């Protein structure tokens, strides 16, 4: 999941997650989303928020941390977790994912970009993405990737879902979205997944609660990324 995404309390969210990681490293694992990147931080307000609450040096430290976050994770070697979706080429292995160089900004295309930006589609094959980056992948692509890597399930985020989650591709792909009432306007539920020893997904849904009267993207200044 994006750890920060258009909200105006992203600093507090990411600091809480990092403090959890420092406090008990084996109890929380953070992966990188497409919004943990410099360009998205500039456009959607995280850069402005950090500079308003702290300064440019702290923002640069956040960028450094984001650059070293992993792009994917597995649970018990059977569940593949990434923010966006699957590779745009066949035959990609988990070892290929492990070998992605960390420590900077992801390129505009290639494996890292695919993992951050791609989306599932209901029909077979691959299609150009409506986002203009990444691509859309069908149930056959999911099945081939899972078989290639002896996995059972793909869990990803990247898209708001009205019920907080959506199961697709014959139960092989799950999208989970944890931000309820996205951008204070979508009216969607949020959700998270719990996996027990059986590795069967159990979903918890929840509604939005009131927050301080600060609008989403309060610190953004439009697509130009220029701050007033």
Q: Tell me the catalytic residues.
A: 35
Residue 141 tokens read as 């692509």
Angle between helices 46-53 and 10-23 (to 10 degrees): 80
Q: Is the dihedral of CA 86, 92, 93, 98 positive or negative?
A: negative
CB neighbour list of residue 185: distance below 8 Å, 6 or more residues apart? none
Ordered alpha helix ranges (H), the chain: 10-23, 38-44, 46-53, 56-68, 94-98, 111-117, 139-148
Buried b / exposed e along 4-32 (16+ C-beta atoms within 10 A): bbbbbebbeebeeeeeeeeeeeeeeebbb
């Amino acid at each position: 999941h994006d750890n920060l995404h258009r909200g105006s309390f992203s600093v507090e969210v990411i600091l809480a997650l990092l403090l959890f990681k420092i406090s008990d490293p084996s109890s929380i694992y953070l992966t990188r989303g497409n919004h943990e990147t410099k360009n998205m931080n500039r456009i959607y307000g995280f850069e402005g928020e950090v500079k308003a609450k702290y300064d440019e040096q702290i923002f640069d430290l956040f960028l450094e941390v984001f650059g070293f976050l992993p792009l994917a994770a597995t649970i018990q070697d059977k569940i593949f977790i990434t923010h966006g979706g699957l590779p745009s080429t066949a035959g990609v292995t988990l070892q290929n994912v492990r070998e992605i160089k960390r420590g900077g900004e992801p390129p505009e295309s290639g494996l890292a970009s695919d993992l951050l930006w791609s989306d599932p589609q209901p029909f077979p094959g691959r299609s150009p993405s409506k986002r203009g980056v990444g691509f859309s992948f069908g149930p056959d692509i999911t099945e081939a990737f899972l078989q290639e890597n002896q996995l059972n399930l793909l869990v990803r985020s990247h898209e708001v879902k009205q019920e907080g989650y959506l199961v697709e591709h014959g139960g092989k792909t799950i999208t989970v979205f944890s931000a309820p009432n996205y951008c204070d306007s979508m009216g969607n539920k949020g959700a998270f997944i719990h996996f027990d020893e059986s590795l069967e997904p159990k979903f918890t849904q929840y509604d939005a609660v009131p927050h301080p009267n600060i609008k989403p993207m309060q610190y953004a200044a439009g697509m130009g990324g220029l701050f007033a």
